[in-house]
């Protein structure tokens, strides 16, 4: 249950920030730059865990460290290397890489556990 509250909190913070930024045109420079990379991995990894358990019917309650690292590297390569090559609107930022890793570590420590089925 705690994991579900954490993911709901992450999603809620993301949505509130997007509303402030895009709808109400409120700019919070550091938050605008760094909140999305921080929240990305906890949300995506939790969705990956849910997908494996319920869509693919795997008997998993958590993701392995290797899976978390692989997913993080995949997202970092796409968001920080490929997107800036494809579109000048995207910029490579090493702080984003650190934040993706911190988000993945947060997921691993605090959210990487679904209740076992009875």
pLDDT band at 118 (very low <50, low <70, confident <90, very high): low
pLDDT per residue over 31-86, tens digit each?
A: 999 999 999 999 999 999 999 998 988 888 899 999 999 999 999 999 999 999 99
Tell me the pTM.
0.92
Q: SS3 of 20, please?
A: helix
- Report the pLDDT value the prediction gives residue 116, as an integer from 0 to 100: 65
Torsion (CA) 114, 59, 48, 50 in degrees, nearest 10: -50
In the chain, where are the structural domains located?
A: 2-111
CA-nearest of 6, 12, 9, 39 to 110 is 6
For residue 104, with 0-12 CB atoms within 10 Å meaning exposed, 13-18 middle and 19 or more buried, which class applies? buried
């Amino acid at each position: 249950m705690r994991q579900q509250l954490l993911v709901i909190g992450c999603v809620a913070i993301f949505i509130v920030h997007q509303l402030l930024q895009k709808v109400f045109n409120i700019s919070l420079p550091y938050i605008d730059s760094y909140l999305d990379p921080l929240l990305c991995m906890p949300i995506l990894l939790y969705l990956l865990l849910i997908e494996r358990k319920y869509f693919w019917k795997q008997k998993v309650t958590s993701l392995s460290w290797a899976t978390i690292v692989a997913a993080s590297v995949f997202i970092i390569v796409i968001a920080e290397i490929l997107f800036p090559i494809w579109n000048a609107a995207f910029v490579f930022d090493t702080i984003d890489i650190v934040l993706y890793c911190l988000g993945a570590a947060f997921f691993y420590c605090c959210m990487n556990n679904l209740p076992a089925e009875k």
